[in-house]
Chains A and B, each alone.
Chain A
């Protein structure tokens, strides 16, 4: 039997009844009534309050920790430090994770955890933190990625040696890796160019800024079994991390994912969970830890700052002949930025034959960087799309036409080796060109920008179960966390397969003991991969339904077919039997062999790459340097929009995050290496009055490797933002910003300098 991964069964002519509609999501009522339980919303009997003591220094040797006074405070039930975590080898994934959740030899950033306390009240826990005496030997620190790459920079990790550079084996360094991707002959390509533009770009560190701070409750029994409740994008990964950190059996750890109040990549790893578990083990009581917003900014997330150089050559008629990029990504205290996405993605949407992309990952004294929606790709695409915009202006070619002239199409082999199947570069560009927005007149001080973008889309390890209840209604157990609409979309796929109304299907995110391992919700994979699992499970259940119908009718199994929710005889020769609904068969399941279900466990492949084009109009106040986005259109290829309203929400949310990143958001560090704006007042994400309506245009170029043709939609919408907005600002003020964010002071300086230059 061919599997769903080999043959998805995608049928463009299938009449769809559920897919493409917009039912109210089943988790919606709980969310509008306050009933939905998020990370901080679990209360257990006897629960203690956990708090974490954090380093005030960005870089210091942790000489000693004396917690005796805290321990003696009435109401304090446990204090934990590095001594309560098993030693894990430095420089390994688990060794890094262990040192990130609780500092060991050194503190590596302001906010690095050094001790945890569990007490009977929050006020006692806070008082106890003040009683812990920590002796630090303060070391010089480094924040900027380029400074951190210098030979005389303060070194974070003694064991670190650069991967990818020959002869680097005996040199202490902050450069984790140098990655070089090449295709064709770049030198020859640049020689063929009539125009070559080379520019340098800077982006600042930002934060994912989910509104729900990380929160967890851990309850550990005397025999070592533990239950953990937390807001995470991947409870199976949290389980694996906890078991790994504490050297225990994975099966003894049960993790339940709460409703998730935003993550955007920032909730794909553990922070407070291991501390809560160890506190709970020591106190023999449940412990809840809820991070403050300040802690969220200082020790979770954040997003890599970048420095980059991009060079693109083109012929007079606009054909790209070569492209080259060099980029440095600041990963924070530990590796894990996913910088390798950048050289793969920076030019991928154009049919370049000669290209070279080099990327460096560099550690520095900031919190360990975590994924953020298309990790490390928007920064890279910002640089490339800025240079392409400049080429379009220089060559006097319409920016969409220039991109169309160079658009990658089916059969193009990328710099990272993938050969594209059907893709939507041309379709999204054409759709953008056809919008009313693209040709609408602009007002004074306004400018328009175009940006194209790309995200790979991912599959990965996924499991799930589909259970048919005795009345024929259906429950889905999913192993992937719902970050804002996947349960309803996946339920719709099950309903479509089974030929029943979506209201007959209820999906839950099952805890880690109910299913096999799942990778986190990331990479725009969840509706794609869990959707694949559920369709596979539904087809297995349908197979079983047919067997049961055959048994009821006393006919051979292969004479029964399933159509539109009913088992029917394959032909009139089989016999004169009234069709049996799922409910009819389910009602007799006990007598025909037991409950009917389908299960699927796959490492899902076949994700279709996603492309998008943004059109942005901005208005710049030349006196203040303030920029207002006045019109925004997001065009992106969804493959197939299962629930169009959900897809639109992804497009709009991605665009809004890009607006914040492009115009306003940045971590501001003092000379002391401390973050100066760890709150929403000074780190200002876009608010409702900052934005216009955001017009989504859903393009559908089916991905034939998914049974319903869909592609991931979560990350493409952010990939195009930064370049498009920078190009719009350039169009408005006549001078190009090479640095993000284009905040009022930075833009004002640029406008003033341009004025002086004439």
Chain B
């Protein structure tokens, strides 16, 4: 067996240390070593977006990041999106506007949508569609996902006024 690599990293503000094989992906370690299974695996080739996480402020497909690269970095996953019992406005909007059907793409889509709103608090429908073009959904036809994101963006803008 190949030698394992010791990694210390931060996930949702908590320090984690783990041992991983050199070829293991961040997705694999999040799910199978740390059992943070909110991040989903849909393809392992960076095409579906279900494994979206934020790594040092950058939106990434965690299936395309090696676990060893997480050393010293800060990772944000779906498990850290709600603050205590306060859901993020995006989470609330997805519930209210039914942006969730089966729910498998939801964590990745929420992480990606939050990254969009942090960069662009007032996106057009078209901007939302192109930003989320890497997050595949087979249930909704995207209509209610896009509406949820636009509604959350509006609420967040109004809260800032």
Contacts and interface: CB of A to CB of B under 8 A. Distances in A.
A343 B116 CA distance: 48
A689 B130 contact: yes
B41 A213 contact: yes
Contacts of B103: 27, 30-32, 36, 38, 259, 261, 484
Given A22-B98, A75-B1, A484-B102, A262 B139 contact: yes
Interface stretch (A387-395, A423-431, A645-653): A645-653
Nearest to B39: A34
Interface in B65-115: 77-79, 81-82, 87, 91, 94-98, 100-107, 110
B41 A32 contact: no
B120 interface: no
B104 to A, nearest CB: 3
B38 A35 contact: yes
A211 B136 CA distance: 7
A624 B140 CA distance: 28
Contacts of B98: 22, 25, 485, 645-646, 648-649
B44 interface: yes
A680 B61 CA distance: 14
B104 A262 contact: yes
Contact of A38 (B91, B104, B144): B104
Contact of B40 (A32, A261, A685): A261
A488 to B, nearest CB: 10
Contacts of B11: none
B15 interface: no
B115 to A, nearest CB: 15
Contacts of B44: 292-293
Contact of B48 (A41, A208, A680): A680
Contacts of B130: 688-689
A208 B139 CA distance: 11
Given A34-B79, A484-B101, A693-B146, A649 B39 contact: no
A260 B126 CA distance: 30
Interface in A32-76: 32-38, 40-41, 43, 75
Contact of B137 (A34, A37, A211, A648): A211
Given A483-B102, A689-B129, A679 B45 contact: yes
A46 to B, nearest CB: 14
B138 interface: yes
Contacts of B101: 484-485, 649, 653
B111 to A, nearest CB: 10
A598 B64 CA distance: 51
- Residue from A75, A648, A649 whose CB has the most chain B CB atoms within 10 Å: A649
A321 B147 CA distance: 46
A196 interface: no
B38 A33 contact: yes
B54 interface: no
B149 to A, nearest CB: 10
Contacts of A41: 31, 37
Interface string B23-47: 1000010011001111111111101
Interface string A10-40: 0000000000001011011111111111101
A293 B133 CA distance: 19
Nearest to B45: A679
Contact of B42 (A30, A213, A689): A213
B87 A33 contact: yes
A132 to B, nearest CB: 19
Contacts of B39: 34
B122 interface: no
A680 B78 contact: no
Contacts of B91: 29, 32-33
Contacts of A121: 1, 21
A36 B110 CA distance: 15
Interface in A284-313: 290, 292-293
A124 B100 contact: no
B23 A123 contact: yes
B142 interface: yes
A22 B95 CA distance: 10
Nearest to A660: B138
B133 A689 contact: yes
B155 to A, nearest CB: 15
A681 B79 contact: no
B96 A652 contact: no
- Residue from B47, B78, B138 whose CB has the most chain A CB atoms within 10 Å: B138
A687 B141 contact: no
B56 interface: no
B48 A211 contact: yes
Given A211-B138, A649-B140, A24 B40 contact: no
B141 A681 contact: no
B145 interface: yes
Contacts of B79: 33-34
A656 interface: yes
A455 interface: no
Interface string A257-275: 0011110100000000000
A213 B47 CA distance: 14
A29 B95 contact: yes
A652 B144 contact: yes
A584 interface: no
Given A33-B87, A33-B91, A259-B103, A656 B42 contact: no
B104 A32 contact: no
Contacts of B136: 211, 680, 685, 687
Contacts of A209: 138
A122 B33 CA distance: 12
A32 B37 contact: no
A649 B139 CA distance: 8
A485 B99 CA distance: 11
A38 B78 CA distance: 15
Interface string A579-617: 000000000000000000000000000000000000000
- Residue from B40, B101, B103 whose CB has the most chain A CB atoms within 10 Å: B103
B133 A687 contact: yes
Nearest to B87: A32
Contacts of A123: 1-2, 21, 23
A415 interface: no
Contacts of A657: 138, 141
A655 interface: yes
Contacts of A29: 87, 91, 95
A691 interface: yes
A22 B110 CA distance: 22
A297 to B, nearest CB: 10
Nearest to B77: A34
A212 interface: yes
Contact of A293 (B1, B45, B81, B139): B45
A210 B101 CA distance: 12
Nearest to A646: B98
- Residue from A33, A37, A124, A293 whose CB has the most chain B CB atoms within 10 Å: A33
Contacts of A691: 129, 141-143
- Residue from A122, A212, A264 whose CB has the most chain B CB atoms within 10 Å: A212
B141 A653 contact: yes
Nearest to A210: B138
Contact of B128 (A484, A679, A680, A688): A688
Given A210-B102, A211-B48, A652-B141, 16 more contacts: A32-B91, A34-B77, A41-B31, A41-B37, A121-B21, A208-B138, A213-B41, A261-B40, A261-B102, A262-B139, A293-B48, A483-B102, A645-B98, A681-B47, A688-B128, A689-B132
20 contacts: A28-B94, A29-B87, A31-B103, A32-B107, A33-B81, A34-B78, A40-B41, A122-B32, A212-B42, A259-B103, A261-B40, A262-B102, A262-B104, A649-B139, A654-B141, A656-B141, A657-B138, A657-B141, A689-B132, A691-B142
Which 5 A/B pairs are nearest by Cβ-Cβ distance? A34-B38, A261-B104, A31-B103, A656-B141, A652-B141
